Chain A
Amino acid sequence: MATYRELLQRVKQEVVEVDAREATALEGAVWVDVRRHDEWDEGHIPGAIHIPRGSLESRIESRVPDRSTPVVLYCASGERSAFAAKTLAELGYERAVSLAGGFTDWKRNGREVQVPTTLSPEKRTRYSRHLLIPEIGEEGQIRLLESRILLIGAGGLGSPASLYLAAAGVGHIGIIDADIVDETNLQRQIAHSLDTLGTPKVDSAKRTIEALNPDVKVTTYRERLTSENIDRILDDGWQVVVDGTDNFPTRYLVNDACVWRGIPLVYGSIYRFEGQVSVFKAGDGPCYRCLYPAPPPPELAPSCAEGGVLGVLPGVVGTLQTNEALKLALGIGEPLVGRLLLFDALAGEFDEMRIRRNPSCPVCGEHPTITEYVDYVEFCAR
Chain B
Amino acid sequence: MSVVRVPPVLRDEAGGAREVEASGQTVRELLEDLTTRLPRLGEKVYDGAEIRPYVNVYVDGEDVRTSGGLDAPIREDATVVLLPAMAGG
Taking beta carbons and an 8 Å cutoff, which residues of A are in contact with B? 153, 155-158, 243-248, 251, 268-274, 276, 290-297, 300-304, 307, 309, 314, 340, 342, 351-358
Contact = CB atoms under 8 A, between A and B. Distances in A.
Interface in B7-55: 7-9, 44, 52-55
Given A274-B8, A294-B54, A157 B89 contact: yes
Contact of B89 (A245, A274, A352, A357): A245
A248 B89 contact: no
Contact of A300 (B54, B56, B89): B54
A353 B86 contact: no
15 contacts: A156-B88, A157-B89, A244-B89, A251-B87, A269-B86, A271-B9, A276-B86, A290-B66, A293-B54, A294-B53, A296-B52, A296-B55, A351-B61, A354-B63, A355-B66
A304 B88 contact: yes
A297 B85 CA distance: 10
Contacts of B62: 353-354
Contacts of B54: 292-297, 300
B85 A292 contact: yes
Contacts of B9: 271, 300, 302, 307
A64 B87 CA distance: 42
Interface in B47-89: 52-56, 58, 61-63, 65-67, 81, 83-89
Size category, B interface: 20 to 34
Contact of B87 (A301, A342, A357): A301
Main secondary structure of the interface of B (DSSP, over half): mixed
A269 B63 contact: no
Contacts of B61: 351-354
A157 B88 CA distance: 9
A270 B88 contact: yes
A246 B85 contact: no
B18 to A, nearest CB: 8
A314 B89 contact: yes
A307 to B, nearest CB: 7
A375 to B, nearest CB: 15
Contact of A246 (B65, B67, B87): B87
A280 to B, nearest CB: 14
Nearest to A306: B88
A356 B67 contact: yes
B88 A153 contact: no
| Residue picked from A157, A243, A302, A353, most chain B C-beta under 10 Å | A353
B66 A358 contact: yes
Contacts of B52: 296
A295 B85 contact: yes
Nearest to B79: A351
B89 A304 contact: yes
B56 A309 contact: no
**Which 8 A-B pairs have CB atoms at the shortest separation, nearest pair first?**
A296-B54, A356-B66, A292-B85, A304-B88, A246-B89, A294-B53, A271-B86, A293-B53
A300 B88 contact: no
B87 A155 contact: no
Contacts of A273: 8
Contacts of B88: 156, 246, 269-271, 303-304, 307, 309
B87 A269 contact: yes
Given A156-B89, A248-B85, A296-B54, 4 more contacts: A274-B7, A300-B44, A301-B86, A354-B62
A270 B58 contact: no
Nearest to A318: B89
B8 A358 contact: no
Contacts of A157: 89
Given A274-B8, A353-B83, A269 B53 contact: no
Given A271-B8, A358-B66, A291 B56 contact: yes
